[in-house]
Structure 1
Amino acid sequence: MTPMIPIVIQFLLVLSLSRTKAAEPAANNIALPGCQDSCGGVLIPYPFGIGPNCSLSIDYAVNCSTINNGTSTPYLPGGDLAIQNINLLLGQAHISSPISSQCYNITTKKLDTTYWSVNLDDPPFRFNHELNKFVVVGCDTIAYVSLANNQESYLGGCVLGCYSLDSLTDGSCSGIGCCQTSIPKGTSYIEFEFDPNYNNSEVYNFSRCSYALLTEEAGFRFSTDYIITDQLYGQNMAAVIDWVIGNTTCDTAQTNKSSYACRSNYSTCLNSSSGLGYFCNCSDGYQGNPYLEEGCQDIDECANPNPCSKRGKCQNLSGSYECSCPFGWRNKRNNLRECELNLVLLIGPSAGFIALSFLGLGMYVIHEKIKLSKVEKKYFQEHGGRILLEKIQSDQGFGFTIFTKQQVEKATNFFDSANIIGHGGQGTVYRGTLRGQMVAIKKCKIVDESKKKEFGKEMVILSQINHKNIVKLIGCCLEVEIPMLIYEFIPNGTLFHYIHGKNQETNISLSIRLKIAHESAEALAYLHFSASPPIFHGDVKSANILLDQNYTAKVSDFGASILAPTDEAQFVTLVQGTCGYLDPEYMQTCQLTDKSDVYSFGVVLLELLTNKPVISFDAPEEERSLSSHFLSAMKEKKIHELLDDQIRRNEDTQLIEEVALLAKACLNMTGEQRPNMKEVADELDRIRRLKQHPWIPECNREETETLLGESFYDIEIEHTGNFSLEKKAEKSIAFGR
């Protein structure tokens, strides 16, 4: 029988379990007062500045250049190197590094060359010798690089030879098709040059150009496409430069207070690793801009998550914090963040019974909370929480957050049904607000037990996916049996509702349909070819393509995807996806590949062309599957009967036919015969460009395609050999012409 507890004891118990709301961190200054703090979306923090008297000196005066279309780009002082970002904490910046090229001109039998050289100011800028690499790409090529610092000059180079595509390997830069070498410490001058005697003249049929570049090693991955296409020509790569203040050490600089750059009272000085100059950081417990008087501001350590124990009350201090325990509790001697019962204060001769009752209830509460905490900690560890925490703590630029269960419950009002914005076989998606940002929270129904331990590693990879047509994964919650994923919120709903829902009576032009299709294909091509490792979506459908306020396509739900397998044992997986979109080959083999996504995307193309559902249970048996109905119609030359009335009556029949043939190629029963997503995206881009030039006469379109890009259907795919499409004459027959 549970003893009655006096009201005062109940009050003390409630008080001991109460928690205080953490204060939000204060905003920090970026630039000097009255000065522009960004250019073209790039933050320009002091000591850099834009305009008169806005930088520490002329050495840090950024040129913000605006072109006719209104876009702006920041450039390094006195040069033409565009700035991508500036890192105060590391004393570094990313710049756009031009690519030098040497191309064999088949027509003139001469070489077209572009060389790049740069001489950084001495000081404050240097090329980072640890993060950058000199890279040469090409076949039958010798390229040289001249480098210099304030003491010595160097000459380096790469010799490349490759006489067939079979010798090339994506991702390998070891001398065949790609070569890289380090640069010396303190490099401020760089110049590239090619040996004209090695000029691609013997290999121009598959490699016309050679390239030399300086780039950040972590951001460059060799691709065979760099050899067989001109996609690197005239482009830029990101390189890292170090910047410092002055040319003295911290000890010397601090003796002259008038010129000492670390102006904040809560700043510290760090010597440059190059041995010349210094840079500033905020002291421990502070964040912001150490080069401004009030730039470094206190970090509120008491903001969520609370660093104290659940019973401890966090009190923020200048540069630190402390944990205070409620009445009847005290800080542990060996861990001031934890509270323990203060039995001396609670137990006395005159209140033995009350104290014992309180102690019994307190122990029960402690036991239950410890039990709950252990369960949450178990889930956290099982899902790879330690890996994510280590990544977040070690990489301050890692844009990913681990949210607590309490935060997610509060954001969704304990998963109130009023906040549901979507649901399906794999889970339910809720709308919520976390740290002032509207987000979409996916609560999954099932989890693959074999992938629990890999969840943290996959989150590290997926969180770094950054593409304008892919919904950003911003965090997760691991304190539950099945992890919850937190994405950015996209306001205009799904493509499925746009074409099948309330808007189905709205006129959706062919241009809009092509735009959505092209942007979605670009996103999937990015996952397949630019993500490292490659990512297969596994559930491509119109319901997983979101539209923002400008109706820009955003592919979502890639958190349910799988990474490209590294061995055969990983290749077999449980078949999952959505009926009507599933690749028939995948259903037979249980092997998910990039071509499985291509098939599903082909079904999405059919939805855009026909405005029909992918499965119609009320239709005759031969018309229930949209893909089967479409392929039959193509074979019987009745495809126009399936097209949406809006585009059949008003749009360019030639372009619609080309989209239909592309969809047919994607729906090939054999995966090897389908195009890959990059080829699909390129073809949709070509069709969009033709749509944007209605002045091209139909009879001259084939001639004009040589100006706008070769026809997808007339190109012989020499290097992949994994698909083929009808010639244009056959295309006309397929449509009953």
Structure 2
Amino acid sequence: MAHAQLLVFLIPMALFLKLAMPVDGAMAMPGCPDKCGNVAIPYPFGIGENCSATNLNSYFNLMCNDTFHPPRPQIREPEAHIEVTGISLERGEMRVLSPVNHICFTSNTTSTKSSGVGYDLSRTPFLPSPSRNRFTVIGCNTLGLITGYRGASGQYVTGCYSYCEGINSTSDGAPCAGMGCCEASIPANLTAFAVTFDLNHSKVWTFNPCFYSVVAEVGWYNFKKQDLVGHLGFIKERAQNGVPIVADWAIRNGSCPKKGEKEPSSYACVSANSYCTAVINSPGYLCNCSQGYGGNPYLSDGCQDIDECEMRKLDPKYEELYPCRKGVCQNTPGSYICKCKKGKKSDGTGYGCQPADSPDYRMVVGLSVSAIVVTAMACMLIMQLQRRRHKKEKIEYFKQNGGLRLYDEMISRQVDTIRILTEREIKRATENYNEDRVLGSGGHGMVYRGTLDDNKEVAIKKSRVINDDCREEFVNEIIILSQINHRNIVRLLGCCLDVDVLMLVYEFAHNGTLSEFLHGTDHRSPIPLDLRLKIATQAAEALAYLHSSTSRTILHGDVKSANILMDDQYNAKVADFGASTLKSMDESEFILFVQGTMGYLDPESFTSHQLTERSDVYSFGVVLLELLTRKKALYTNDFNKNESLSYRFLSMFRQNKHQAMLDPEIVDGSNVVAIEKLTKVVVQCMSPRGDDRPTMKEVAERLQMLRKLQMQATCDGENDRDVHDNFGGSPSVILHFDEMTDSSIETTKDEMISYRYQPIQMGYHLVPFPIINGPHESPFRT
């Protein structure tokens, strides 16, 4: 096997001619030959050490063998001289001729002649091009192999098998797919390789005595049946001088400097107007002239300006490559310009001219101007119409959302504390209704946490349902809240009515709802009885204020723990008046409207479809029961079934077993009396008949006294007897209420036995509601 340090690469002569450009610049070192025979030798290649870049690699020094006519350039190699047939600076390619590896047989097992071809390219600037070459095997029943090394990554082996039963089983021009010949790709960075045969006998030697394997340029070989016949017939007829191989060459001992870095002393791109390009096949780089320049970038001042205008004169094909239609071409450094003569102007491409003032041009200009004017007027008209439509929509929304009614109330001085906000202010406060700002749902509204322009934190309720009932409820809530001034009722700060979706702006409660406070699963902590009484008292005072301290009676209609908010000091604030209804003090008619939540609904209102002040009392009794038991109004019992808290507690109360349902956190010796009296309030509030229930004012007074006595008992450590005496010693209404409560509890126990309970279907569970059998006198009537 010949040991040669060589590269392979092809540049067809037609391609060289195509890339040639008429530039004034040498391709070889000054005073050095630039050709050997018919082959151009550009620097860094050269003939002799002084004419080549031997400082970069000694293999750039070629020899010109003048024993041939014409002379032939060859790579200097001690063991073999490899002929060079072409070199390209721009593509970094070289085309050489390589011997053919072959083996011939004179019998089944006797080979008369064999030869191997191999190259070690590790110290050369050359590597076989993986895209321009193929490993090719020619013969019948033969396996050819190519082995070698891919840089430092390890050994490489591949090959292909060619088969045929006879000469006539093949055909001329057939692709090398395994019948008579085969092909295989080669990898990149193949620094050493050899082509061999893995066989020592032949069954086809009678008609195919010799097998051949080569690395050859893609497209060079076309199969012929004659290649299989005769002793070395293929070499004699088609490859006496070898087969062409295309090699990639590059400056291997360096790389392109990074931007801003100083160029090393061995940097090969020495010409002005040149640049460095990294190569793909193994490490290294190539140099190229910048766009608009041609020549040799490896020589000082080797890249010269291309005169595109002169090239247009030399060959018509350059007129398309460098167009200048109906203009005057003028060369510039690195480019050219196409100047227009007098009376002409640029055609818009930069590479052509046209008449400056033709009739067609004037027509186009006129039509263009007219089109622009018409378009502008149409846009202005559309914008004006959109503004009017938007303004009209806002007016319609204002009317639909009760703006006129609110305005009438403001004129009558019933609404003078409400701020009217625009949709833009609402969007800014909620970050365009960001989902991360959603606090929850209330009634028919989605509630967002917002920040107004003055950095005030607020809660913004946005209606989810767009219908007349929903609009009426929101306006109703505005009017109601605007009349209310109570520390335990959430304050309405403003509203937005000029959108299709109604919005209200409230003060913000930092500690969420009472329902979350009692039943939240995260970090459930004990709640002392004092705090529970405080919350109950404040909520009762708020509802009592709504019922009796305003100019007109206000029914909440949806009292529940989720509608009682908690501020940062755990003060209760009653909220969500979406179901509220105003009732004149002198009106006797009932309001035929019930909107509440299952578990809190007054059973009397549910069956009669009538809403009264005592309906709020019943619902508040369920809230008190939640405070006592810390269970939800509809909770899951020990049998994993949903059950009504009010129904279950009253049933246990009749059996005197209700203590089992109380929250263990508050059941201790010091709280027994207060809890029992609070239980009596709960039972009275949840009496089946509305007339048997106390008013919210009475409930509030009762809770106020309970709270004071509980605080006094906690501070002074009084015994249960003293607490009982002090609680019952006042001649006020509270004493009457207490006595009546104590005396009526037993009656309530007995009479509740006669009540029937009717199960009401609620989807996946049944909730019983009591139905009254007969009339009962209220214990609060005098």
Query: What TM-score, normalized by structure 1, do the two folds share?
Result: 0.47
Larger radius of gyration: 2
